[in-house]
Structure 1
Amino acid sequence: MSLPTIPTTGAPFDGGQGDPRVPGVAGPPRRRRTALVITIVLSVAALLAAVVVAALAFLGASASVPAATVGEKLTAQFGATVTCTQDLPARVGATTTCLGTDESGVHHVLVTANSVDGSTVDFTGTVQD
């Protein structure tokens, strides 16, 4: 009894192009996705940066100078104790009222925001009575 023979030509791995058994012979070229991955990563980074900038702009618009800070600066300016109970909004033209105490009594002090530059607010206090 004899065994059937298997033809050696035309087999899937016959030593030609794409045969994984032959070193140096490459199969079909692999597609590189490096540019696509870089584009996606940069797009996500740009989106996150835009969200951060928008959030900072939103939070900056609602910022204020704490009442204690306003009181301390006015106390140094007037040389008399000034106490504030409300924060001064960081918006040009915003106002709040504080109380100043000196040897002649208690006075109302109108505080006005004159300019806003980032987180720096320039304000003045004017004694009302």
Structure 2
Amino acid sequence: MSVPTVPSVPSSTPAPAGLTAPFDGRQIDPRTQVPGPRRRRTGVVLTVVLSVATLIAAVVVAALAFLGGTTSVPAASVGEQLSRQFGAPVSCTEDLPAKVGATTMCTGTDDQGVHHVLVTATSVDGSQVGFTGTVQD
């Protein structure tokens, strides 16, 4: 039985494009590393960029939520301001939401008795909330 042999390619024949090994029958040094095809890193780069963008967006949203303004006016603050306005003690049990048109009910006391005071938010400018109090009875 005979072993088939591969004929050697004459050295004048150029090597196929992209291959760096010689085809003239010479031995290749096993320590030589033939570079493989260039790997694309588009997926890795895109993942890193999107991760950083998401992190930045989360920090911005959290900062805006934290610093973005008042969500409500404390009940004690509303009561104090109405007490100065009416010249009689006014107490509130619920905070006034910082939204134009939002309402809460407070109680005022004077020499004629106890009165209900409807408090309505009239303006919101950052952390400043304007409101009015109207005696209901």
TM-score by length of 1: 0.58
Uncovered stretches (5+) of structure 1, i.e. residues with no partner:
1-8, 21-26
Look up the match of 1:91.
99
Look up the match of 2:118.
110
Look up the match of 1:10.
27
Query: CA 1:42–1:78 in structure 2 vs 1: closer, same or farther (change >3 Å)?
Result: farther
Q: Percent identity?
A: 66
Q: Could you tell me how far 1:31 is from its partner in structure 2?
A: 4.6
Look up the match of 1:124.
132
Look up the match of 1:44.
51
Structure 1 or 2, whichever has the larger Rg, is 2
Q: Which amino acid aligns with 1:10?
A: Q
CA RMSD of aligned residues (A): 3.4
Q: Distance in 1 between matches of 2:59 and 2:134?
A: 40
Q: Distance in 2 between matches of 1:83 and 1:38?
A: 59
| Number of positions where the alignment pairs a residue of Structure 1 with one of Structure 2 | 105
Look up the match of 2:80.
72
Q: Which amino acid aligns with 1:11?
A: I
Look up the SS of the partner of 1:68 in the other structure: helix
Q: Could you tell me how far 1:88 is from its partner in structure 2?
A: 1.6
Query: CA 1:13–1:45 in structure 2 vs 1: closer, same or farther (change >3 Å)?
Result: closer
Q: Which amino acid aligns with 2:47?
A: I
Look up the SS of the partner of 2:132 in the other structure: strand
Q: Could you tell me how far 1:119 is from its partner in structure 2?
A: 4.0
